[in-house]
């Protein structure tokens, strides 16, 4: 797995071992960052279920100011730390070693802090049912922020999650990317 574009284009990223890990394919990462291209420079990004950090590191390579990574798997966290160090992005990264649900429920989650929230949970886990209401509070993202949920193509996500409205959904093989933004006139 390599970084696709930006300052560290071509750098090889280490992927954690294990059957629970499903790194985002290069095709999906390329599509995602093409869609978000104007939102990434100088952005503050939250990468939930970060795994190897491929999404957040790709954002840093493309000019993001800071990425907050959240993951609880020790092997993933080792790969993530190694990848950040090898790419030189450790100073721009904060790692929270915890469950994403606990992060969103707790005081560790800053309010109205993120320009982009990337959500990439295990495909066949029921975690989205618990996670979406926490994201629906609408207090994680900046008012102009955007959230992207990567999910299995057969998983249907709601059109609205609290103050967030689905903008678009795009399919790439078994993977769907669903984009959410705060509805016009809705504050946090």
- Residue 165, domain extent: 26-182
Entry field: residues in the chain: 188
Up-side HSE of residue 30: CA atoms within 13 Å toward CB? 9
Grouping H, G, I as helix, E, B as strand and the rest as coil, residue 153 is coil
Nearest Cα neighbor of 117 from 164, 159, 156, 158 is 164
Residue 118 sits in a domain whose CATH number is: 3.40.50.150
Phi, psi of 92 (to 5 degrees): -100, 10
Q: What is the DSSP letter of 155?
A: P
Give tens-digit pLDDT for 98-155: 999 999 988 667 777 899 999 998 877 788 888 888 888 768 889 899 999 999 999 9
Q: Global pTM?
A: 0.91
Question: What domain count does the chain have?
Answer: 1
């Amino acid at each position: 797995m390599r970084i696709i574009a930006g300052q560290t284009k071509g750098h090889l990223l280490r992927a954690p071992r294990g059957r629970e890990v499903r790194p985002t394919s290069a095709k999906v990462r390329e599509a995602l960052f093409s869609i978000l291209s104007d939102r990434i420079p100088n952005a503050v990004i939250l990468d939930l279920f970060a795994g190897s950090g491929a999404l957040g590191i790709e954002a840093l390579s493309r000019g993001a100011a800071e990425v907050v990574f959240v993951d609880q798997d020790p092997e993933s966290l080792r790969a993530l730390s190694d990848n950040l160090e090898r790419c030189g992005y450790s100073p721009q990264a904060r790692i929270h070693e915890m469950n994403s649900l606990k992060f969103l429920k707790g005081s560790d989650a800053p309010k109205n802090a993120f320009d982009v929230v990337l959500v990439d949970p295990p495909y066949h886990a029921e975690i989205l049912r618990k996670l979406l209401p926490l994201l629906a509070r609408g207090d994680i993202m900046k008012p102009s922020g955007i959230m992207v949920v990567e999910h299995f193509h057969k998983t249907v996500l709601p059109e609205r999650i609290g103050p967030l409205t689905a903008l678009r959904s795009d399919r790439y093989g078994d993977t769907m990317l669903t984009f959410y933004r705060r509805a016009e006139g809705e504050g946090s």
